[in-house]
Amino acid sequence: MGKRTVWMKSVVILAVFGIALAGCATLQKSETMDTEQSLTAAGFKVRPADTPAKLAHLQSLPQRHFFPHKVKGTTYYVYADATYCKCMYYGDYEAYRTFYKNQYTSIEDMAQWNLWGPWERGE
At residue 107 the predicted structure's pLDDT band, cuts being 50, 70 and 90, is: low
Look up the pTM and report it: 0.61
Q: Residue 92: CA atoms inside 13 Å, Cβ hemisphere, count?
A: 4
pLDDT computed for residue 13 by the predictor: 55
When pLDDT is averaged across residues 11-35 and rounded to a whole number, the result is 52
pLDDT computed for residue 62 by the predictor: 95
When pLDDT is averaged across residues 81-97 and rounded to a whole number, the result is 94
Percentage of the chain beyond pLDDT 90 is 50
Burial pattern 56-79, b for ≥16 Cβ within 10 A else e, equals: eebeebeebebeeeeeeeeebbbb
Q: Which helix (H) or strand (E) holds 90?
A: strand 87-91
Q: What is the mean pLDDT of the chain?
A: 77
pLDDT computed for residue 100 by the predictor: 87
* Whether residue 27 has pLDDT greater than 60: no
* Whether residue 53 has pLDDT greater than 90: yes
